Structures are given as C-alpha cells and as structure tokens.
Amino acid sequence: MAEEAPPLRLVISDPKGGRKIVKVKVKVKGVEDEALEYTKEMRREKEKGKVKKERSRLPLAKVNSKLAKELDLEEVGVLTLRFKTEDGRINETFKVIIDDNVPDNTVHVNMEHLGELIGDMEGEAEAFRAKAWQIAIPQKTVERLAGLEIGDVFDGSLVGIEGVRFKIRGGSDATGFPMHPGVPGSGKKKVLLSGPPGFHPREKGERRRKTVRGRMIPDPRGERRKTVLAQLNVIIHYEK
C-alpha cells in the first residue's frame, strides 16, 4: 500500500482584500463560547519556532454586523487581527461569525487561543479584511482536484470552504519545481524560459532551460512522496 502524501498547502488570496483595506482598532476578548471551539484542526504544529504543519481549518471569531459591514466581511467572512507585542507584530486570521450580541468595535475569540497568541485574555488589535491565508488539505481532498489545471475555477466546497469559488494560479512540488501554465500534463519537463514561473532573468532578453511541472494537478496516489504537489496557489473568483 502506497504511503499517503503529506497535506497540500493551499494558499488563498482575496483580490478585494488588497484594495483600499479598511483597518479598525478593536478590543479583542477571549471568551468561553461553544460556537468558538478551538479544535485540533485549527491549530498549527510548530517546531523550533517554525510552522511544521498548517491548520486545516481557520479558527473562529465573532463580530457584530456593524463591524462586519465596516470591514467588508460579508462576502467572504475572513478577518485578520494584527496584534502588537514586545516581540513584534502577530497576524492571525479567523473565519467570522456575525453575532449582534458582541459590542461595537469588539472581537470575541476563543479564550485558550487568545492566551496562546498574546498571553492574556484581553488585548487590542488592528482588524481588517484578510488579503491572504493558507490551510492544509489532506490527500483525499487533493484527489478531488486531480485533473484541474492552472486557470480552472472550482467550488470551494471541494476543499471544505463553502460559498466561494477559487481560480487556480499555480503551485509547486515538494522539491520546489513550479507548475507552468505553458506545459501540458502534470509531469516534469525541461523547457526554455524567459521569465517566471521557474526563471527570473537578471538581464533583459536572458533565457534559460529550466525544469518545471505541467499545468495540471496530479493525482497524489500516482506520485512519489518527494515529488507530490506541496503547494497550490488559488485566488477567490468573483463573478463579473
């Protein structure tokens, strides 16, 4: 029986999150609330201060409808909180639950989670619509994406994210070889490149022969652990 591939890192970008972002200073309060349960899937595994394994679900936060509207969270509902600590800035991204029992300019999060972040049960942060975040998805989920190519659009429910659609922008395998939109299939191929992905010229007109992967997402069951797709980059697709 083949060894199961490691989780795929799904990097999600929100194009509307990068345009004229509204930032609001908020009070962040750690609360005991069953709706804000902090599960194993919402935790990152760290080793020597570095992330060893990404979470498979975003942690949850509650805001009222007034703050959600001010931060333009109603479409996607993903919020970033930026805390200032003695060690620098900490950014944490949350999936939002709208609850009008939460006071104005206040965000409720899980008490244990907030304690891990800032070492206190209350704090202040800058709140804004998330521009990008990432989650890990298991092999069985990746199998559903096999055969899709760069430029394809798929429903977020395939990766456990309801209410949005994603457009595939690219990715890379465990050894760092990037997917290339001009190469058919999912295998590796050496091609002559004049720019990214796969080559960043230092001089005008410079070209190099580089190894890249094809534009198709491979079935992880047919890949070796060292060559399996490790990262997939997607962007939220808004219907015009």
Query: Is residue 1 over pLDDT 50?
Result: no
Query: Is residue 221 over pLDDT 50?
Result: yes
Domains and CATH numbers, the chain: 22-130 (2.40.40.20), 135-236 (no CATH)
Report the length, in residues, of the chain.
240
pTM of the predicted model as reported, rounded to 2 decimal places: 0.88
pLDDT of residue 51: 61
Percent of the chain's residues with pLDDT above 70: 94
Question: What is the per-residue pLDDT across 19-53, written as a single tens digit (0 to 9) for each?
Answer: 678 999 999 999 999 999 999 999 987 765 566 67
